Structure 1
Amino acid sequence: MTENPIPYPDRRFQALLFDMDGTLLTSIESAERVWSRWLTCHGFDPVEILPRIHGVQTLETIRRLDIPGIDPQQEADWIAREEMVDLDGVRAIDGAAEFIAGLPHDGWAIVTSATRPLAEARLAAAGLVPPPLFITAEDIACGKPAPDCYIAAARQLGVDVTQCLVFEDAPAGIASGRAAGTEVVVITATHTHPFATEHPHIRDYRGLTTAHADGGLMLRPRMAV
Protein backbone atom coordinates (compact mmCIF):
# COMPACT_ATOMS: atom_id res chain seq x y z
CA MET A 1 0.00 0.00 0.00
CA THR A 2 1.44 3.38 -0.96
CA GLU A 3 1.92 5.84 1.88
CA ASN A 4 -0.13 9.00 1.59
CA PRO A 5 2.13 12.06 2.10
CA ILE A 6 -0.74 14.27 3.26
CA PRO A 7 -3.50 12.30 5.03
CA TYR A 8 -6.99 13.81 5.13
CA PRO A 9 -5.97 16.91 3.14
CA ASP A 10 -9.55 18.21 3.00
CA ARG A 11 -10.46 17.63 6.67
CA ARG A 12 -10.38 20.18 9.48
CA PHE A 13 -9.77 18.82 12.98
CA GLN A 14 -10.35 20.40 16.38
CA ALA A 15 -7.29 18.71 17.92
CA LEU A 16 -4.50 16.25 17.17
CA LEU A 17 -3.96 13.38 19.64
CA PHE A 18 -0.70 11.45 19.64
CA ASP A 19 0.36 8.12 20.97
CA MET A 20 3.98 8.40 22.15
CA ASP A 21 6.08 5.24 21.78
CA GLY A 22 6.44 4.36 18.11
CA THR A 23 4.52 7.47 17.09
CA LEU A 24 6.43 10.53 18.30
CA LEU A 25 9.53 8.67 19.42
CA THR A 26 11.02 5.21 19.23
CA SER A 27 11.76 3.37 22.46
CA ILE A 28 11.65 -0.14 21.01
CA GLU A 29 15.29 -0.93 21.77
CA SER A 30 14.94 0.09 25.41
CA ALA A 31 11.56 -1.54 26.00
CA GLU A 32 12.50 -4.82 24.38
CA ARG A 33 15.77 -5.07 26.32
CA VAL A 34 13.95 -4.65 29.64
CA TRP A 35 11.04 -6.89 28.72
CA SER A 36 13.38 -9.58 27.39
CA ARG A 37 15.15 -9.75 30.76
CA TRP A 38 11.85 -9.92 32.61
CA LEU A 39 10.28 -12.51 30.31
CA THR A 40 13.34 -14.74 30.43
CA CYS A 41 13.33 -14.65 34.24
CA HIS A 42 9.72 -15.85 34.18
CA GLY A 43 10.32 -18.64 31.69
CA PHE A 44 8.85 -17.01 28.57
CA ASP A 45 10.34 -16.82 25.11
CA PRO A 46 10.77 -13.08 24.38
CA VAL A 47 10.47 -13.70 20.63
CA GLU A 48 6.92 -14.97 21.19
CA ILE A 49 5.76 -12.31 23.66
CA LEU A 50 7.48 -9.08 22.61
CA PRO A 51 5.14 -8.37 19.66
CA ARG A 52 2.24 -8.23 22.14
CA ILE A 53 3.65 -5.56 24.47
CA HIS A 54 3.51 -2.53 22.19
CA GLY A 55 0.73 -0.03 22.67
CA VAL A 56 -0.69 -1.80 25.75
CA GLN A 57 -0.28 -0.86 29.41
CA THR A 58 2.47 -2.89 31.11
CA LEU A 59 0.15 -3.97 33.91
CA GLU A 60 -2.44 -5.24 31.43
CA THR A 61 0.18 -7.27 29.52
CA ILE A 62 1.41 -8.89 32.74
CA ARG A 63 -2.12 -9.75 33.81
CA ARG A 64 -2.79 -11.42 30.47
CA LEU A 65 0.25 -13.67 30.97
CA ASP A 66 -1.49 -15.06 34.09
CA ILE A 67 1.69 -16.02 35.97
CA PRO A 68 0.92 -17.86 39.23
CA GLY A 69 2.25 -16.42 42.48
CA ILE A 70 3.25 -12.94 41.34
CA ASP A 71 1.91 -9.49 42.13
CA PRO A 72 1.26 -7.94 38.69
CA GLN A 73 1.55 -4.40 40.04
CA GLN A 74 4.92 -5.07 41.64
CA GLU A 75 6.18 -6.64 38.42
CA ALA A 76 4.90 -3.69 36.38
CA ASP A 77 6.64 -1.31 38.79
CA TRP A 78 9.92 -3.21 38.33
CA ILE A 79 9.66 -2.98 34.55
CA ALA A 80 8.86 0.75 34.78
CA ARG A 81 11.91 1.40 36.99
CA GLU A 82 14.17 -0.49 34.61
CA GLU A 83 12.80 1.36 31.59
CA MET A 84 13.39 4.68 33.36
CA VAL A 85 17.15 4.05 33.56
CA ASP A 86 17.57 2.23 30.24
CA LEU A 87 17.02 5.02 27.72
CA ASP A 88 19.70 4.09 25.20
CA GLY A 89 18.32 4.32 21.68
CA VAL A 90 15.31 6.47 22.59
CA ARG A 91 15.02 9.10 19.87
CA ALA A 92 12.43 11.22 18.10
CA ILE A 93 10.69 10.05 14.94
CA ASP A 94 12.01 12.11 12.03
CA GLY A 95 10.26 15.47 11.79
CA ALA A 96 8.24 15.00 15.00
CA ALA A 97 9.88 17.85 16.94
CA GLU A 98 9.22 20.37 14.18
CA PHE A 99 5.68 19.13 13.64
CA ILE A 100 4.50 19.40 17.24
CA ALA A 101 6.34 22.71 17.71
CA GLY A 102 3.93 24.25 15.21
CA LEU A 103 0.77 23.12 17.02
CA PRO A 104 -1.34 25.50 19.15
CA HIS A 105 -1.02 25.02 22.91
CA ASP A 106 -4.64 23.89 23.27
CA GLY A 107 -4.75 21.87 20.06
CA TRP A 108 -2.88 18.68 20.90
CA ALA A 109 -2.17 16.06 23.54
CA ILE A 110 -0.14 12.90 24.09
CA VAL A 111 -2.17 9.81 24.96
CA THR A 112 0.15 7.02 26.04
CA SER A 113 0.03 3.64 27.77
CA ALA A 114 3.26 4.54 29.59
CA THR A 115 3.32 5.93 33.11
CA ARG A 116 3.82 9.67 33.47
CA PRO A 117 7.39 9.45 34.85
CA LEU A 118 8.43 7.09 32.06
CA ALA A 119 6.74 9.24 29.41
CA GLU A 120 8.51 12.36 30.68
CA ALA A 121 11.88 10.54 30.78
CA ARG A 122 11.50 9.26 27.23
CA LEU A 123 10.41 12.62 25.86
CA ALA A 124 13.44 14.26 27.47
CA ALA A 125 15.75 11.56 26.08
CA ALA A 126 14.28 12.12 22.61
CA GLY A 127 14.58 15.91 22.86
CA LEU A 128 10.84 16.48 22.56
CA VAL A 129 8.94 19.21 24.39
CA PRO A 130 6.33 17.86 26.84
CA PRO A 131 2.74 18.44 25.70
CA PRO A 132 0.25 20.79 27.34
CA LEU A 133 -1.89 17.74 28.11
CA PHE A 134 -0.76 14.23 29.03
CA ILE A 135 -3.09 11.25 29.35
CA THR A 136 -1.00 8.43 30.83
CA ALA A 137 -1.50 4.98 32.34
CA GLU A 138 -2.32 6.48 35.74
CA ASP A 139 -5.25 8.46 34.33
CA ILE A 140 -7.23 5.62 32.75
CA ALA A 141 -8.70 2.45 34.28
CA CYS A 142 -9.18 0.73 30.91
CA GLY A 143 -6.21 1.16 28.60
CA LYS A 144 -5.93 0.74 24.84
CA PRO A 145 -7.63 -0.79 22.85
CA ALA A 146 -10.47 0.66 24.94
CA PRO A 147 -11.39 4.19 23.76
CA ASP A 148 -11.33 5.78 27.24
CA CYS A 149 -7.96 7.48 26.91
CA TYR A 150 -8.78 9.33 23.69
CA ILE A 151 -12.22 10.30 24.95
CA ALA A 152 -10.62 11.70 28.12
CA ALA A 153 -8.06 13.70 26.12
CA ALA A 154 -10.72 15.29 23.94
CA ARG A 155 -12.85 16.09 26.97
CA GLN A 156 -9.97 17.83 28.74
CA LEU A 157 -9.17 19.82 25.60
CA GLY A 158 -12.84 20.81 25.39
CA VAL A 159 -13.39 19.39 21.92
CA ASP A 160 -15.55 16.73 20.28
CA VAL A 161 -13.56 13.50 20.14
CA THR A 162 -15.08 12.63 16.76
CA GLN A 163 -13.49 15.81 15.41
CA CYS A 164 -9.99 14.78 16.53
CA LEU A 165 -7.24 13.13 14.51
CA VAL A 166 -5.24 10.37 16.22
CA PHE A 167 -1.65 9.49 15.31
CA GLU A 168 -0.83 5.87 16.21
CA ASP A 169 1.51 3.04 15.28
CA ALA A 170 0.20 -0.13 16.97
CA PRO A 171 -3.01 -2.15 16.50
CA ALA A 172 -4.20 -1.56 20.09
CA GLY A 173 -3.90 2.20 19.72
CA ILE A 174 -5.49 2.26 16.28
CA ALA A 175 -8.43 0.28 17.65
CA SER A 176 -8.66 2.69 20.59
CA GLY A 177 -8.87 5.72 18.33
CA ARG A 178 -11.45 4.15 16.07
CA ALA A 179 -13.56 3.03 19.03
CA ALA A 180 -13.54 6.63 20.26
CA GLY A 181 -14.83 7.77 16.86
CA THR A 182 -11.69 9.52 15.59
CA GLU A 183 -9.91 9.38 12.28
CA VAL A 184 -6.46 7.77 12.47
CA VAL A 185 -3.09 8.27 10.79
CA VAL A 186 -0.66 5.37 11.16
CA ILE A 187 3.03 6.18 11.63
CA THR A 188 5.18 3.39 10.18
CA ALA A 189 8.73 4.53 11.08
CA THR A 190 9.24 1.72 13.59
CA HIS A 191 7.52 -1.03 11.61
CA THR A 192 9.89 -3.77 10.51
CA HIS A 193 7.30 -5.52 8.32
CA PRO A 194 4.54 -4.27 6.00
CA PHE A 195 1.55 -3.15 8.02
CA ALA A 196 -1.90 -3.83 6.60
CA THR A 197 -4.27 -0.99 7.48
CA GLU A 198 -7.27 0.74 5.98
CA HIS A 199 -6.11 4.06 7.44
CA PRO A 200 -3.83 6.62 5.82
CA HIS A 201 -0.23 5.99 6.83
CA ILE A 202 3.02 7.92 6.63
CA ARG A 203 6.53 6.94 7.63
CA ASP A 204 7.29 10.08 9.66
CA TYR A 205 6.53 13.80 9.91
CA ARG A 206 9.07 15.15 7.43
CA GLY A 207 7.32 17.30 4.88
CA LEU A 208 4.21 17.65 7.06
CA THR A 209 2.86 20.69 8.89
CA THR A 210 -0.50 22.16 9.89
CA ALA A 211 -2.50 25.22 8.91
CA HIS A 212 -5.12 27.01 10.98
CA ALA A 213 -8.50 27.15 9.26
CA ASP A 214 -11.79 28.38 10.75
CA GLY A 215 -10.80 27.49 14.28
CA GLY A 216 -9.41 24.09 13.33
CA LEU A 217 -6.27 22.42 12.05
CA MET A 218 -5.61 21.01 8.60
CA LEU A 219 -2.63 18.90 7.52
CA ARG A 220 -0.48 20.58 4.90
CA PRO A 221 2.87 19.93 3.15
CA ARG A 222 5.87 21.60 4.72
CA MET A 223 7.59 23.83 2.21
CA ALA A 224 11.27 23.13 1.64
CA VAL A 225 13.63 25.87 2.82
Structure 2
Amino acid sequence: MIPTSAFAAFLFDMDGTVTNSIAATERVWTAWARRHGLDVETFLPTIHGVRAEETIRRQNLTGVDIAQEVAAVLAGEIADIDDVHPIPGAEAFLRDLPADRWAVVTSAQRDLALSRLTAAGLPIPTVLVTAEDVSRGKPAPDGYVLAAQRLGVSADACLVFEDAPAGVLAGEAAGAQVIVITAAHRHPFETAHPTLADYSGVRVKLGPDGLRLSKA
Protein backbone atom coordinates (compact mmCIF):
# COMPACT_ATOMS: atom_id res chain seq x y z
CA MET A 1 0.00 0.00 0.00
CA ILE A 2 1.33 3.41 -0.91
CA PRO A 3 0.75 6.31 1.49
CA THR A 4 -2.52 8.11 0.83
CA SER A 5 -1.73 11.30 2.75
CA ALA A 6 -0.83 14.62 1.16
CA PHE A 7 2.72 15.81 1.78
CA ALA A 8 4.38 19.22 1.73
CA ALA A 9 7.45 17.76 -0.02
CA PHE A 10 9.21 14.56 -1.02
CA LEU A 11 12.73 13.93 0.30
CA PHE A 12 14.84 11.32 -1.50
CA ASP A 13 17.95 9.42 -0.56
CA MET A 14 20.17 8.99 -3.63
CA ASP A 15 22.11 5.70 -3.91
CA GLY A 16 19.71 2.79 -4.23
CA THR A 17 16.70 5.11 -4.09
CA VAL A 18 16.85 7.22 -7.27
CA THR A 19 20.18 6.01 -8.66
CA ASN A 20 21.43 2.44 -8.84
CA SER A 21 25.12 2.70 -8.12
CA ILE A 22 25.31 -0.35 -5.86
CA ALA A 23 27.70 -2.29 -8.10
CA ALA A 24 30.11 0.65 -8.40
CA THR A 25 29.91 1.42 -4.67
CA GLU A 26 30.57 -2.16 -3.67
CA ARG A 27 33.49 -2.51 -6.11
CA VAL A 28 35.25 0.49 -4.57
CA TRP A 29 34.54 -0.52 -0.99
CA THR A 30 35.48 -4.16 -1.64
CA ALA A 31 38.92 -3.04 -2.80
CA TRP A 32 39.23 -0.77 0.24
CA ALA A 33 38.20 -3.56 2.65
CA ARG A 34 40.68 -6.00 1.16
CA ARG A 35 43.51 -3.48 1.49
CA HIS A 36 42.74 -3.25 5.19
CA GLY A 37 42.26 -6.97 5.78
CA LEU A 38 38.52 -6.82 6.46
CA ASP A 39 36.05 -9.62 5.79
CA VAL A 40 34.29 -8.33 2.68
CA GLU A 41 31.10 -10.35 3.04
CA THR A 42 30.55 -9.08 6.56
CA PHE A 43 31.64 -5.53 5.79
CA LEU A 44 29.65 -4.68 2.64
CA PRO A 45 26.14 -4.71 4.16
CA THR A 46 27.28 -2.03 6.64
CA ILE A 47 28.32 0.63 4.11
CA HIS A 48 24.97 1.64 2.65
CA GLY A 49 23.23 4.82 3.73
CA VAL A 50 26.02 6.19 5.93
CA ARG A 51 28.85 8.62 5.30
CA ALA A 52 32.23 7.25 4.23
CA GLU A 53 33.87 8.89 7.24
CA GLU A 54 31.60 7.01 9.63
CA THR A 55 32.01 3.72 7.76
CA ILE A 56 35.80 3.97 8.04
CA ARG A 57 35.80 5.20 11.64
CA ARG A 58 33.65 2.24 12.74
CA GLN A 59 36.37 -0.21 11.67
CA ASN A 60 38.67 1.02 14.47
CA LEU A 61 41.74 0.64 12.28
CA THR A 62 45.04 1.68 13.80
CA GLY A 63 47.38 4.15 12.12
CA VAL A 64 44.79 5.26 9.58
CA ASP A 65 44.30 8.86 8.44
CA ILE A 66 40.50 9.09 8.18
CA ALA A 67 40.49 12.14 5.90
CA GLN A 68 43.02 10.53 3.55
CA GLU A 69 41.01 7.29 3.39
CA VAL A 70 37.78 9.19 2.71
CA ALA A 71 39.47 11.12 -0.10
CA ALA A 72 40.77 7.90 -1.66
CA VAL A 73 37.34 6.24 -1.55
CA LEU A 74 35.70 9.38 -2.97
CA ALA A 75 38.16 9.49 -5.87
CA GLY A 76 37.49 5.83 -6.60
CA GLU A 77 33.73 6.28 -6.55
CA ILE A 78 33.78 9.36 -8.78
CA ALA A 79 35.93 7.47 -11.29
CA ASP A 80 33.67 4.39 -11.29
CA ILE A 81 30.39 5.54 -12.88
CA ASP A 82 30.19 3.31 -15.96
CA ASP A 83 27.20 1.32 -14.73
CA VAL A 84 25.45 3.99 -12.67
CA HIS A 85 21.85 4.24 -13.89
CA PRO A 86 18.49 5.46 -12.64
CA ILE A 87 16.05 3.37 -10.68
CA PRO A 88 13.27 2.50 -13.20
CA GLY A 89 10.80 5.35 -13.53
CA ALA A 90 12.84 7.73 -11.35
CA GLU A 91 13.67 10.25 -14.08
CA ALA A 92 10.07 10.84 -15.15
CA PHE A 93 8.87 10.84 -11.54
CA LEU A 94 11.39 13.45 -10.42
CA ARG A 95 10.82 15.67 -13.46
CA ASP A 96 7.09 15.73 -12.65
CA LEU A 97 7.77 17.23 -9.22
CA PRO A 98 7.72 21.02 -8.69
CA ALA A 99 11.30 22.17 -8.05
CA ASP A 100 10.38 23.62 -4.66
CA ARG A 101 8.72 20.42 -3.45
CA TRP A 102 11.55 17.89 -3.48
CA ALA A 103 15.14 17.42 -2.33
CA VAL A 104 17.87 14.80 -2.29
CA VAL A 105 19.50 13.94 1.03
CA THR A 106 22.54 11.72 0.61
CA SER A 107 25.43 10.45 2.69
CA ALA A 108 27.66 10.94 -0.36
CA GLN A 109 29.93 13.95 -0.73
CA ARG A 110 28.64 16.71 -3.03
CA ASP A 111 31.06 16.00 -5.91
CA LEU A 112 30.07 12.34 -5.90
CA ALA A 113 26.35 13.12 -5.67
CA LEU A 114 26.52 15.48 -8.65
CA SER A 115 28.58 12.93 -10.61
CA ARG A 116 26.12 10.10 -9.99
CA LEU A 117 22.95 12.10 -10.59
CA THR A 118 24.42 13.34 -13.88
CA ALA A 119 25.61 9.87 -14.91
CA ALA A 120 22.11 8.51 -14.25
CA GLY A 121 20.50 11.27 -16.32
CA LEU A 122 18.51 12.59 -13.38
CA PRO A 123 17.66 16.23 -12.67
CA ILE A 124 19.81 18.06 -10.13
CA PRO A 125 17.53 19.22 -7.30
CA THR A 126 17.43 22.80 -6.12
CA VAL A 127 17.98 21.45 -2.60
CA LEU A 128 20.78 18.87 -2.37
CA VAL A 129 21.96 17.97 1.13
CA THR A 130 25.24 16.03 1.18
CA ALA A 131 27.76 14.70 3.66
CA GLU A 132 29.45 18.09 3.99
CA ASP A 133 26.23 19.82 5.07
CA VAL A 134 25.68 18.06 8.40
CA SER A 135 27.81 17.22 11.39
CA ARG A 136 25.83 14.02 12.02
CA GLY A 137 25.04 11.66 9.17
CA LYS A 138 22.28 9.06 8.92
CA PRO A 139 20.78 7.49 11.03
CA ALA A 140 20.66 10.94 12.66
CA PRO A 141 17.78 13.00 11.23
CA ASP A 142 19.89 16.11 10.56
CA GLY A 143 20.00 15.81 6.76
CA TYR A 144 16.27 15.38 6.35
CA VAL A 145 15.50 18.15 8.83
CA LEU A 146 17.87 20.48 6.97
CA ALA A 147 16.39 19.65 3.57
CA ALA A 148 12.87 20.34 4.84
CA GLN A 149 14.02 23.65 6.30
CA ARG A 150 15.61 24.66 2.98
CA LEU A 151 12.33 23.87 1.23
CA GLY A 152 10.45 25.95 3.80
CA VAL A 153 8.43 23.07 5.23
CA SER A 154 8.43 20.90 8.33
CA ALA A 155 10.11 17.49 8.14
CA ASP A 156 7.08 15.84 9.71
CA ALA A 157 5.02 17.02 6.73
CA CYS A 158 7.30 15.21 4.26
CA LEU A 159 7.52 11.75 2.72
CA VAL A 160 11.02 10.26 2.78
CA PHE A 161 12.07 7.77 0.08
CA GLU A 162 14.81 5.45 1.32
CA ASP A 163 16.44 2.10 0.63
CA ALA A 164 18.75 1.45 3.62
CA PRO A 165 18.17 0.91 7.35
CA ALA A 166 20.25 3.94 8.38
CA GLY A 167 18.21 6.19 6.12
CA VAL A 168 14.91 4.73 7.29
CA LEU A 169 15.93 5.49 10.88
CA ALA A 170 16.89 9.02 9.86
CA GLY A 171 13.52 9.61 8.24
CA GLU A 172 11.71 8.24 11.27
CA ALA A 173 13.78 10.39 13.63
CA ALA A 174 12.92 13.46 11.53
CA GLY A 175 9.24 12.71 12.09
CA ALA A 176 8.56 12.04 8.42
CA GLN A 177 6.62 9.19 6.86
CA VAL A 178 8.91 6.74 5.05
CA ILE A 179 8.56 4.58 1.96
CA VAL A 180 11.23 2.02 1.03
CA ILE A 181 12.46 1.52 -2.55
CA THR A 182 13.65 -2.05 -3.06
CA ALA A 183 14.88 -2.16 -6.71
CA ALA A 184 18.58 -2.06 -5.84
CA HIS A 185 18.53 -4.22 -2.71
CA ARG A 186 21.40 -6.69 -2.53
CA HIS A 187 21.08 -6.93 1.24
CA PRO A 188 17.31 -7.00 1.93
CA PHE A 189 15.98 -5.97 5.32
CA GLU A 190 12.61 -6.21 7.00
CA THR A 191 10.57 -3.03 7.31
CA ALA A 192 7.14 -2.09 8.54
CA HIS A 193 7.03 0.82 6.09
CA PRO A 194 5.33 0.73 2.68
CA THR A 195 7.61 -0.49 -0.11
CA LEU A 196 7.89 0.09 -3.85
CA ALA A 197 10.07 -1.87 -6.23
CA ASP A 198 10.62 1.31 -8.29
CA TYR A 199 8.74 4.34 -9.64
CA SER A 200 7.28 2.80 -12.78
CA GLY A 201 3.96 2.01 -11.12
CA VAL A 202 3.33 5.34 -9.42
CA ARG A 203 2.83 8.97 -10.32
CA VAL A 204 2.47 12.18 -8.36
CA LYS A 205 -0.46 14.56 -8.14
CA LEU A 206 -0.15 18.12 -6.86
CA GLY A 207 -3.28 19.47 -5.23
CA PRO A 208 -4.12 22.35 -2.93
CA ASP A 209 -3.25 20.18 0.07
CA GLY A 210 0.13 19.06 -1.29
CA LEU A 211 1.73 16.11 -3.12
CA ARG A 212 0.04 12.74 -3.30
CA LEU A 213 1.20 9.40 -4.64
CA SER A 214 -1.13 7.46 -6.87
CA LYS A 215 -0.89 4.31 -8.93
CA ALA A 216 0.03 4.91 -12.55
RMSD, aligned CA: 1.0
Q: Does 2:53 align with 1:59?
A: yes
Q: Which amino acid aligns with 1:58?
A: A
For the 8 Å contact 2:165–2:189, the answer to whether it is kept is no
> Is the 1:154–1:160 Cα contact (8 Å) retained in structure 2?
yes
**Map of 2:3 onto structure 1:** 8
Q: 1:123 matched to which residue of 2?
A: 117
Structure 1 length-normalised TM: 0.94
Aligned to 2:104: 110
- Equivalent positions of 1:25-40 (< 5 A) are 25-40=19-34
Equivalent in 9, 16, 36 of residue 22 of structure 1: 16
Q: Secondary structure at the match of 1:65?
A: coil
* 3-state SS of paired residue (1:99): helix
**Native 8 Å contact 2:45 2:187 kept in 1:** no
Q: Structure 1 residue 181 and structure 2 residue 175: aligned?
A: yes
Contact 2:11 2:158 in 1 (8 A): yes
Which of 72, 77, 88 in structure 2 is aligned with 1:83?
A: 77
Q: Structure 1 176/88 Cα, relative in aligned 2: closer, same or farther at 3 Å?
A: same
Say whether the 8 Å CA contact 1:29–1:88 is kept in structure 2. Answer: no
Equivalent positions of 1:207-218 (< 5 A) are 207-218=201-212
- Rounded to whole Å, the distance in 2 between the matches of 1:44 and 1:202 is 33
Residue-pair matches, total: 216
Of 173-182 and 183-192, more deviation after overlay is shown by 183-192
Cα distance in 1 between the residues matched to 2:8 and 2:214:
15
Q: Report the CA distance between 1:194 and its aligned residue.
A: 4.8
Per mean C-alpha deviation after superposition, the further-off stretch among 189-198 and 200-209 is 189-198
One of 88, 103, 111 as aligned partner of 1:94: 88
Decide whether the 8 Å contact of 1:210 with 1:219 is kept in 2.
yes
Question: What amino acid does structure 2 have at the position aligned with 1:45?
Answer: D
Unpaired stretches in structure 2, ≥5 consecutive residues: none
**How do 1:93-172 and structure 2 match up within 5 A?**
93-172=87-166
What is the aligned partner in structure 2 of residue 69 from structure 1? 63
Compute the displacement of 1:148 (Å). Answer: 0.5
Residue 104 of structure 2 aligns to a residue whose secondary structure is strand
Residue ranges of structure 1 left out of the alignment (5+ in a row): none
Q: 4+ residue stretches of structure 1 with deviation over 3 A?
A: 192-195
Q: Is contact 2:203-2:213 (8 Å) kept?
A: yes
Distance 2:73 2:190 in 1: 30
Structure 1 CA distance for aligned equivalents of residues 7 and 193 of structure 2 = 16
SS of aligned partner of 2:83: coil
Normalising by structure 2, we get a TM-score of: 0.98
- CA distances 1:153-179 after superposition (whole Å, capped 9, x unpaired): 001100011000000000000000000
| CA offsets 1:9-37 (integer angstroms, 9 cap, x no match) | 2x010000000000001111111111111
